[in-house]
Amino acid sequence: MDLENEIQALKTKIAFYEKMINEIAVPIIPSIVDNTILVPISGYTTQDRLENIRNRILDYLGEHRDINCTVCDFTGVGTDQIQDLDYNILAHEISQLDSSLKLMGVRPIFVGFNYLLVKEIVHAGVHVHIETYVNFKTALATLLDKAEKSVHSLP
């Protein structure tokens, strides 16, 4: 195999692995609440990764039009994992995801923000207007309560 063919084969392999990593890096899990998905986010969070998360969620929603609520869980993201990311950029990316989901008619909920992360965002003077809960359990309880009230209010 000549050098050019070997380089091309390696580029193809790298592209395949990058696609695989992007897909498994954003798991989308159906919830016990009807028409709701959970997107756990953990590990290092870069601007590119946040854009990938947004794109994966939107692609999924495009294929699953019955979904009306998305819960993004940031429990696995600490301040040490976003050191290289400006908090303004983080807030912007979260706002972009929030706006994108709303445009699709999907209720975005964000949970699990580390208190140090919140402290840094507030300290940076960044304003984010999103629906948040302390954890996934609390968000689900709220959604289940609302669903139960809707069922009981039917004629």
pTM higher than the cut 0.75: yes
Which ranges of the chain would DSSP assign to H, the alpha helix? Answer: 3-24, 47-63, 87-103, 115-123, 136-152
Task: Indicate the pLDDT class of residue 1, thresholds 50, 70 and 90.
Answer: low
Over residues 86-118, the pLDDT tens digits come to 777 888 888 899 999 999 999 999 999 888 878
CA–CA gap between residue 77 and residue 116 (Å, rounded): 10
For 83, the 3-state DSSP assignment is: coil
Confidence (pLDDT) at 93: 87
pLDDT digits (tens, 9 = 90+) for 117-155: 788 778 777 778 899 999 999 999 999 987 777 665 556
DSSP 153: T
Are 60 and 48 contacting, i.e. CB atoms less than 8 angstroms apart?
A: no
Gap between the Cα atoms of 82 and 54, Å rounded: 17
pLDDT in tens, 40-84: 998 878 888 889 899 999 999 999 999 999 999 999 887 776 666
